[in-house]
């Protein structure tokens, strides 16, 4: 029995009703590898997205009509000509305010409050706990019952915003079928990358727990709502891979943005397949 376990008022694994095990964990596998990998991926994406939204440049490739999803929709008077597909109802932004502020708030809010990312964040960034049978370093657990964590319950509302932005992404993807040198139709590697990203984003959005609740929640009898039951069944199948879609879509967003940024900056040209 350790001295810590005898301490009056001890909590967590050293509480008076817990087993007296001196070892930090009895696991012999590489349990730390998964939370470490996930944590590094999340931190990289956060750093990349933060840098990109404050760049306020290299988001529109006019020759090919490619607009990066990080800046879509671009609705500020500061946007480059041609990149504002839905008008510019916001004034010019100061240099220290991202012109993609609305996009960032909605999509960061959707991902930040997502059940999967909350689990990944708690395990990988806060170590609460890092893995099964591995004690966390925190003395007490309050869950998400206090501010600002109670704001995570806004996830279902951010979901509606994500659906709207998903439709905007489809519109941008359709516009990417644009030819160069005056041609009305064409597509290149950027078009393919954009559409792959759109598919992955929609798989992530439709597999969301909030989506599953929207299509099938609050029903007492599925037999009386056959269409909603069919949609609920489809979303439930996607929901089993929600975590995979969440991580894959992170990489597709980065790949799409990086490719369009390179084209916009003039580092190289788009690989064209038609026109």
**Residue pLDDT, tens place only, 191-240:** 999 999 999 999 999 999 999 999 988 788 888 889 989 999 999 999 99
Write down the pLDDT at residue 224.
87
Distance CA 197, CA 258 (A): 12
Contacts of 61 (CB under 8 A, 6+ apart): 67, 190, 260, 263, 264, 270
Contacts of 196 (CB under 8 A, 6+ apart): 252, 256
**Residue pLDDT, tens place only, 241-253:** 999 999 999 999 9
Distance CA 70, CA 197 (A): 12
Least confident of 45-49, 57-61, 91-95, 173-177: 91-95
| pLDDT tier for residue 12 given thresholds of 50, 70 and 90 | low
Write down the pLDDT at residue 13.
59
Write down the pLDDT at residue 140.
75
Residues 40-69 have a mean pLDDT of 96
User: With pLDDT > 90 as the criterion, what percentage of the chain qualifies?
Assistant: 70
98 class by beta-carbon count within 10 Å (0-12 exposed, 13-18 middle, 19+ buried): buried
pTM recorded for the entire structure: 0.86
Q: Where are the alpha helices (DSSP H) in 2-114?
A: 3-6, 33-55, 101-112
Write down the pLDDT at residue 56.
95
Write down the pLDDT at residue 241.
96
Tokens of 254: 């980065």
Residues 96-115 have a mean pLDDT of 93
């Amino acid at each position: 029995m350790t001295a810590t376990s005898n301490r009056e008022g001890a909590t967590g694994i050293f509480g008076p009703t817990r087993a007296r095990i001196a070892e930090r964990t009895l696991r012999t596998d590489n349990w730390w590898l998964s939370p470490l990998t996930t944590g590094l991926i999340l931190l990289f994406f956060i750093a990349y997205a933060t840098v990109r939204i404050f760049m306020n440049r290299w988001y529109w490739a006019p020759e090919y009509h490619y607009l990066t999803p990080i800046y879509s929709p671009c609705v500020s008077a500061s946007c480059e000509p041609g990149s504002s597909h839905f008008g510019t109802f916001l004034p010019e932004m100061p240099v220290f305010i991202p012109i993609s502020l609305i996009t960032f708030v909605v999509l960061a809010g959707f991902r930040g409050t997502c059940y999967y990312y909350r689990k990944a964040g708690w395990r990988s960034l806060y170590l609460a706990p890092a893995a099964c049978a591995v004690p966390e370093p925190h003395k007490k657990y309050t869950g998400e019952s206090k501010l600002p964590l109670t704001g995570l319950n806004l996830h279902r509302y951010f979901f509606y915003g994500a659906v709207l932005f998903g439709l905007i992404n489809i519109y941008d993807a359709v516009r990417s079928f644009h030819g160069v040198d005056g041609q009305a139709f064409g597509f290149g590697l950027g078009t393919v990358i954009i559409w792959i990203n759109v598919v992955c984003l929609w798989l992530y959005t439709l597999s969301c727990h909030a989506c599953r609740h929207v299509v099938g929640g609050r029903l007492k009898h599925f037999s009386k709502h056959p269409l909603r039951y069919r949609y609920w069944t489809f979303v439930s199948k996607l929901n089993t891979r929600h975590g995979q879609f969440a991580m894959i879509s992170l990489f597709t967003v980065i790949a799409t943005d990086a490719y369009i940024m390179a084209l916009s900056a003039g580092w190289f040209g788009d690989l064209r397949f038609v026109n």
